Every structure is written in C-alpha cells, then in structure tokens.
Amino acid sequence: MKEVALGIDIGGTNTVFGFIDREGHTLAESSISTKAHLDVRSYLKALHDKIQEIMSTLKTEVVLKGIGVGAPNGNYYKGTIENAPNLTWGKMVHFTDLLKDYYQVPIVLTNDANAAAIGEKIYGGAKSMSDFIVITLGTGLGSGIFVNGKVMYGHDGFAGELGHVTVNYNGRQCGCGRKGCLETYVSATGIKRTVYKLLADYTDPSVLRGISFDTLSAEMITKAAKEGDRIGIEAFEYTGKILGKKLADFVTFSSPEAIFLFGGLARAEEFIFRPTIQHMEENLMPVFRNKVKILPSSLMERNAAILGASALLWMELEK
C-alpha cells in the first residue's frame, strides 16, 4: 500500500488536484472548473465526484494520508477562504469544515504562495534550508516566507504579503485600494503597465507597439526581450531594479539563505535575474552582501500548485 496525499489547488478558473507520494511522484492528476460553480456546496460535490473517479483508476493500492489545499486568501489557522477576489462563494468560506463532510482524514489549507514555499521545502531546491523566501510572480506578487524551518503565518494567518509593500506612495493604483504596492510594478500585470509607460515615453520601434493592453502578456514581453527589443529589455530592467531594491529590504527582516522566484516572469531568465541581483546587492546592508542567493524555483516546470498543496499535508504530518 502506497501512502499518498491529495493536493488540491483552487484557482479562479480551474481547480487542479493530484495524488502525490512523499517523494513528490504524481500518481494521477485531474481538474474541474471552479467558475462553473457559483455555490461552494455544488462545487464540492463536483470535486468529490471527480476525485473518486480518478482514485478508482489508480493502478497502485493507496492509503490517503490526508488532504492539502492551496487557495487564494486561504487561512491556515481557520481553514477558511476569505474575500478571495476571483471566487464567487461569499466573503468567508469555511472550506476545510465543508470538505470534512466528504473525507475523514487530516485536511490543511493555506494560501497559494505559502503552498509554493512548502513545495520548495519538501520537494524542491530548499530541502536543506531553514530560512528562505519564495516569490510567486503571476497576475499579482505572492510570497511564502520560511523562518527557522517554519512558514511564517503571523497572528491571524495572513503574514507574508510582500506584494503589498509600498514602493511609491504616489504610485500606481493597486487592487488592494492603496497606491504604489510592489505588485503593481513586479508581476505579469505590473510589467505590462511598465511596457505601456515605456511605449509612451520613448519613440523606439518595438514589436510591442500595436498590441492592446488586454492582449499583451508577460510571455510576449519575454519573447521581445530575448529577440533584442529595446522596450522589452528596458521593461525587465525596470522591473528587476524595483524587485532587487525591495528584496534588499526583505533580507534585513528574515536573513534568508535564498530567495526563489517562481512564475511567468522568472522564465525571462537573465533579463529578470541580472537586474534583480545587481540592485539587491547594491542596496543590501554590508553585513548581508554576497550571501543571499536568488534562484529560479526548481518546481517551475512541474505541477507546482498540486505539489505545493500536497507538501503542506506532509509537512503537517511531520510536525
């Protein structure tokens, strides 16, 4: 009998899940639509049906040790999802309590960026580290912070919102209602805003001119930069400069051994890593210089969301 964790990652559009063993091997995975279910109870019924269907196709006999859930605005202490912007299930969803109607195993929930950090710790590049930070660069900027071998949750479960550290008090409007937050500059959406500003400020020809804001993607900007497009390269330079300066601040707080970058923008390789490292080092307090590694997440090309969620369960069981 093989011991497995069920990892579930809830996204605004789809929910993906998989059965993962302690070594990080995926036995099976599948998905259902999240947004097709306006009500959380109908969603849970559909999810349970699909999970049972996939479980019955497994070739190995398994023991389900528990369930880990990664969710937007997930609260580890309460097992709730609170005010998630892309979900329609109400302000406060008691998710783990509802899931317990279907499964009598340990169930743990946290936000998606914490899950990414736990995945890095259990299966990825941070196995031997006690102090590190994972920065997820998607539509916004998320962060999971390990201090002394543990995820930092804070007193209410919402610690580690580095995406909403202020870069400029008169800066870009943020979705959180404030101005100039880090994620308005450093995220897939942030770099699009930067490209549009550069296109307005400079007259250089660019393959990015003529692409509407809604069509423009971080992948297009990466491709342009790799092909030598000045606006594309400059957009990463600007993004890396702001990220590097803020990472220098974060280092003073928790003294991490490494900071891992995860998500679309990290695929731009040296276009984002070089300016980020340069500006972090230039702005670090001398005692921290040349000590902190900036690395790509080692889970990037794998089913990271499911791995992170299942790693949460393993970490809980090993406490």
195, 204 Cβ separation under 8 angstroms = no
Both tokens assigned to 72: 């937007």
Q: Which stretch binds Zn ion (CB under 5 A): 135-143, 172-180, 209-217, 283-291?
A: 172-180
Going by C-alpha positions, the residue among 200, 10, 238, 6 that lies closest to residue 110 is: 10
Q: For the stretch 250-283, what's the b/e string if a residue is b when 16 or more beta carbons lie within 10 angstroms of its beta carbon?
A: bbeeeebebbbbbbbbbbbeebbbebbbebbbeb
Both tokens assigned to 114: 């914490």
- Minimum distance between the CB of residue 247 and Zn ion, rounded to whole angstroms? 18
- Minimum distance between the CB of residue 272 and Zn ion, rounded to whole angstroms? 21
- Minimum distance between the CB of residue 207 and Zn ion, rounded to whole angstroms? 31
Does position 164 bind Zn ion by CB under 5 A? yes
Q: How many residues bind Zn ion (CB under 5 A)?
A: 5
- Applying CB under 5 A, among 176, 207, 220, 317 the residue interacting with Zn ion is 176
Count other Cβ atoms within 10 Å, centred on residue 64.
Answer: 17
- Applying CB under 5 A, among 47, 81, 181, 266 the residue interacting with Zn ion is 181
SS3 14: strand
What's the CA gap between 203 and 226, in Å, rounded?
Answer: 20
Q: At what angle do helices 218-226 and 270-283 cross, to 10 degrees?
A: 90
- Minimum distance between the CB of residue 177 and Zn ion, rounded to whole angstroms? 7
Nearer to Zn ion, 54 or 181 (CB): 181
Q: Which stretch binds Zn ion (CB under 5 A): 46-54, 93-101, 111-119, 179-187?
A: 179-187
Does position 165 bind Zn ion by CB under 5 A? no
- Minimum distance between the CB of residue 228 and Zn ion, rounded to whole angstroms? 33
What's the CA gap between 147 and 254, in Å, rounded?
Answer: 7
Does position 174 bind Zn ion by CB under 5 A? yes
- Minimum distance between the CB of residue 145 and Zn ion, rounded to whole angstroms? 17
Does position 152 bind Zn ion by CB under 5 A? no
CA distances, 261 to each of 3, 284, 305 (Å): 30, 18, 14
Does position 109 bind Zn ion by CB under 5 A? no
Binding site for Zn ion (CB under 5 A): 164, 174, 176, 178, 181
